[in-house]
Amino acid sequence: MAEDMKKLRIGVVGVGKIGLAQIEAIKVIEGAGYADLAAISSRDEAKARAVCAKYHIPAYFTDYRAMLAAMDLDVIHNCTTNVVHYAINRDIIESGCHVLSEKPLTVDSAQSAELVSLARTRRVKTAINFVNRHHPVIQQLQKLIASGWFGDIYAVHGSYLQDWLFLDSDYDWRVESRYGGASRAFADIGSHWIDMAQFLLGQNVAEVLADFATFIPVRIKSISGKDGGVVSSPVAVDTEDYTGALLRFDHGAHGGFVVSQVSAGRSSGLSFEIDGSKASVRWSRGRPNIAIIGKRGEPEQILHSVGGISRNEEGPAEPAASSAEQSLGAQKNMIDSFYRSILFGEAPCYADFEQGHAIVRIVEAALKSQRSRTWMAV
Ligand SMILES: NC(=O)c1ccc[n+]([C@@H]2O[C@H](COP(=O)([O-])OP(=O)(O)OC[C@H]3O[C@@H](n4cnc5c(N)ncnc54)[C@H](O)[C@@H]3O)[C@@H](O)[C@H]2O)c1
């Protein structure tokens, strides 16, 4: 790396769960020498100070607008709650910075359309943190599918099952539409599943038939009081715990998935299977560095994340990494691909705001389908 190579100056807005995960990944990328995490913004000053100390970040702000004005940044990561994505993304674009937003891009497709057009006018690059397509084996599989190795794609099906909202004492801002948007399970984790499916197939969802269910209509929200005690209050839930969805894609594939945040014992089980006219393939985040290929009458084969296909019984060709290491790896790959496209003009393999907007439209079609009990065009 040349000494005078420009380094991207990075800022992060929101240092909750995913904000911290992204900071961990940015710190790994800093080692490559072309990005510096220059500042963070958090409304909680004590937290901002602690995060800066832990990760050796030079500056913090309690208002992201002050950070945008003061720091001469190149790229901002927006890691805030869903309903504020729109306003913060808009301010970032207006400031002339490239923007990496959390998903869903917005909770309203008029807002996401506006962001797509604004980013084009201001000539800034955009990305959405659909992180799962950045597992190396998913990138390999996409190329194999595009080459026709699996033949014509008939169908894609699978699930994304979690249990972190299994109990009525499990509260998170996502359960209330005023913070998370009108859809929860579909928009929160169904959006990840759809991004992977669209990326792998090279086809977009054109129609959806959705069945939403809310099994826990009231949850108990507990917050710590100033005296050290805990104050609990009931909250009416107006978002879905579960969705079953059927999909039709624009180039002929069919599909469907179940997403749930109340599936006991499933911490974050994301999986899919794809059926083609020559072979099928299945993948799950439990073993994210391999995909298993099936052909009728033949032994199973394994597609490896470093490329290459072997017989299943030969086992993985690379040392198994822990799931935390693999999640960090996918997150690092996602962010790195965005930085590299900004700095070196490398072809993007990440989702941009246009793709994020398309998924917001799919969420809206699913909500309409649920209400009307019919197939809905996107
Ligand atoms: N891509 C992924 O894999 C992934 C994983 C988890 C969460 N997410 C997304 O990330 C976002 C955050 O989720 P989380 O789980 O980290 O939530 P969280 O509650 O842990 O963190 C959200 C943070 O946003 C901050 N925030 C809210 N409004 C703000 C504002 N106006 N200005 C500045 N900060 C503000 C909050 O103070 C909090 O620190 C959500 O949109 C979620 O969908 C994505």
Q: Give the separation between CA 350 and CA 375, rounded to whole angstroms.
A: 29
- For the cut 60, the answer to whether the pLDDT of residue 333 exceeds it is yes
Question: Is the CB of residue 86 below 6 angstroms from any atom belonging to ligand 1?
Answer: no
Output the DSSP codes for 322-357.
PHHHHHHHHHHHHHHHHHHHHHH-PPP-SB-HHHHH
Residue to probe by mutation, ligand 1, list 80, 83, 88, 91, most atoms within 8 Å of CB: 80
- For the cut 90, the answer to whether the pLDDT of residue 149 exceeds it is yes
Q: What is the pLDDT of residue 372?
A: 98
Strands, E assignment, the chain: 8-13, 35-41, 59-61, 75-78, 98-101, 126-128, 153-161, 205-213, 218-224, 230-236, 242-249, 254-260, 269-276, 280-284, 290-294, 301-304, 309-311, 376-377
3-state secondary structure of 77: strand
Mean pLDDT is lowest, of 45-54, 226-235, 354-363, for 226-235
Q: What is the pLDDT of residue 52?
A: 98
Residue 55 β-bridge partners: none
Q: Give the separation between CA 176 and CA 192, rounded to whole angstroms.
A: 20
Residues 6+ apart with CB under 8 A from 324: none
User: To the nearest 10°, the Cα dihedral for 8, 12, 17, 20?
Assistant: 50
Q: What is the pLDDT of residue 318?
A: 52
Q: What is the mean pLDDT of residues 131-140?
A: 96
What would the pLDDT profile of 108-125 be if each residue is shown by its tens digit?
A: 999 999 999 999 999 999
- For the cut 60, the answer to whether the pLDDT of residue 317 exceeds it is no
Give the Å distance between the CA of 134 and the centre of ligand 1. 20
Give the Å distance between the CA of 91 and the centre of ligand 1. 17
Residue 127 β-bridge partners: 100
Q: What is the mean pLDDT of residues 356-365?
A: 98
Tokens of 38: 């220059």
Compute the C-alpha angle 32/34/39, nearest 5°. Answer: 110
Q: What is the mean pLDDT of residues 168-190?
A: 98
- Please indicate, yes or no, whether the overall pTM of this predicted structure exceeds 0.85: yes
- Residue 2 confidence class, pLDDT cut points 50, 70, 90: low
Give the Å distance between the CA of 237 and the centre of ligand 1. 19
- For the cut 90, the answer to whether the pLDDT of residue 320 exceeds it is no
Radius of gyration of the chain (CA): 21
In terms of pLDDT, which residue wins out, 88 or 6? Answer: 88
What would the pLDDT profile of 4-22 be if each residue is shown by its tens digit?
A: 678 999 999 999 999 999 9
What would the pLDDT profile of 290-310 be if each residue is shown by its tens digit?
A: 999 999 999 999 999 888 898
Question: Is the CB of residue 14 below 6 angstroms from any atom belonging to ligand 1?
Answer: yes
Percent share of the chain, pLDDT over 70: 96
Residues 6+ apart with CB under 8 A from 155: 253, 254, 255, 274, 275
Q: What is the pLDDT of residue 3?
A: 55
Domains of the chain, first to last: 8-131 (3.40.50.720), 133-338+356-377 (3.30.360.10)
Q: Give the separation between CA 48 and CA 51, rounded to whole angstroms.
A: 5
How distant is the alpha carbon of residue 130 from its chain centre? 3
Asked if residue 91 lies in contact with residue 64, where contact means CB atoms within 8 angstroms, the answer is yes
Q: Give the separation between CA 234 and CA 221, rounded to whole angstroms.
A: 6
Residue to probe by mutation, ligand 1, list 18, 172, 176, 355, most atoms within 8 Å of CB: 18
Whole-Å CA distances, 152 to 102, 143, 193, 200: 33, 14, 21, 13
Give the Å distance between the CA of 174 and the centre of ligand 1. 10
